[in-house]
Amino acid sequence: MYVDRSDAGRVLAAALADVLADTGGAEGGPPRAGLAVLALPRGGVPVAAEVARVLDAPLDVFMVRKLGVPGRPELAMGAIATGGVRVCNEDVLRSYAVSGDQLEAVAARETAELARRERLYRGDRAPLDVTGRAVVVVDDGLATGATMRAAVAALRARGPRRIVVAVPVAARESIAALRAEGVEVVCPLVPERFLAVGQFYDDFAPTSDAEVRAALDAPAAGDGGGEVG
């Protein structure tokens, strides 16, 4: 169990330390030029903020939206990410008999919301340049893994040297599915019985838009690109 998302971020950072030992940087020194931390809003932001702080790395958000089943919005039938990437969960689409028109209607709505939130969170600030970097993609947990798969697919097109998915807790099947696609995953807690991400937090209150903006506006957040070591 984690106290809250910040507590989970500190545990996750400790698990990442050895995995990312080759990215440079030192305690008290400059940020790791070869490393970037990207959070999936909103719940992944407080987790990632702690990871970025402990690892002395720049922080940014990477926009992904879940595509919820009509009438069951909490259940992911897929996800979309910045850059027009869409990932679908074919098993869920078949099980709930989701039509093509229903899928497109949900995707259109979530695409508009993705664009709105990107403007809200980042404003005029350019996305962090991940070309040639080791990128740690953080969320507060993985249930179906659809949103994370969409994020990874979109990030691969941006030329990172390495992508590491980092989450405090995840369903065993979701980790296996990511690894089957060649994705590196770091997860300190993989329970035998997984019902929902929130069951592993004492405090799982929703993260607000204001908290996301505050994390990105903090002095250590995002460096807007620059030299890559």
| Residue 98: how many other CB atoms lie within 10 Å | 21
* Strands annotated E in 44-116: 59-61, 64-69, 72-81, 85-88
* Mean pLDDT for the stretch of residues 49-73: 92
CB half-sphere exposure, 157, CA atoms < 13 A: 9
Residue 64: strand, helix, or coil:
strand
Residues 149-158, buried b or exposed e (16+ Cβ, 10 A)?
bbbbbbbeeb
- Provide the pLDDT for residue 64: 87
- Provide the pLDDT for residue 223: 47
Query: What is the spatial distance between Cα 117 and Cα 194, in angstroms, rounded to a whole number?
Result: 30
Query: What is the spatial distance between Cα 164 and Cα 210, in angstroms, rounded to a whole number?
Result: 27
Query: What is the spatial distance between Cα 88 and Cα 92, in angstroms, rounded to a whole number?
Result: 9
Query: What is the spatial distance between Cα 156 and Cα 50, in angstroms, rounded to a whole number?
Result: 24
**95-136: per-residue pLDDT in tens?**
999 999 999 999 999 999 999 988 899 888 888 889 999 999
**155-207: per-residue pLDDT in tens?**
988 899 999 999 999 999 999 999 999 999 999 999 999 999 999 999 999 99
The residues with which 66 forms a beta bridge, in sequence order, are: 79
The residues with which 166 forms a beta bridge, in sequence order, are: 138, 186
CB 78 within 8 A of CB 39: no
- Calculate the CA 198 to chain-centre distance: 16
* φ, ψ of residue 219 in degrees (nearest 5): -55, -35
